[in-house]
Amino acid sequence: MPRAEPPAVPTVAVIGGGPAGLMAAEQLLAAGVGVDLYDTMPSLGRKLLLAGIGGLNITHAEAKPAFLARYE
């Protein structure tokens, strides 16, 4: 039996369609990686929708080297 060829584009499963899962999916897609996004809820990003404008801060303004240094 012939071997199946690996997919041309690697695909990653992201579990959870909340803010972190959506951000991870966006970063993976930007890097050229395929994404399969899974969530138990019927709609994605529900917390973002419920928070409204300015109600949920998911950004971090600290410089990346300083941020990473805290976790070494």
63 in a structural domain: no
In a domain, 26, yes or no: yes
What SS3 state is found at 38? strand
Q: Which residues form the domain of 15?
A: 1-54
Q: What is the pTM of this model?
A: 0.60
Provide the H-helix boundaries in the chain: 19-30, 46-51, 64-69
Rounded Cα distance between 37 and 48, Å, is 17
Phi, psi for residue 40 in degrees, rounded to 5:
-75, -25
Domain total in the chain = 1
Residue 5, domain member (yes or no) = yes
Q: How confident is the model over 7-37, as pLDDT tens digits?
A: 688 999 999 998 889 999 999 999 999 999 9
In a domain, 45, yes or no: yes
Helix (H, G, I), strand (E, B) or coil at 12: strand
- Whether 53 shows a pLDDT value over 70: the answer reads no
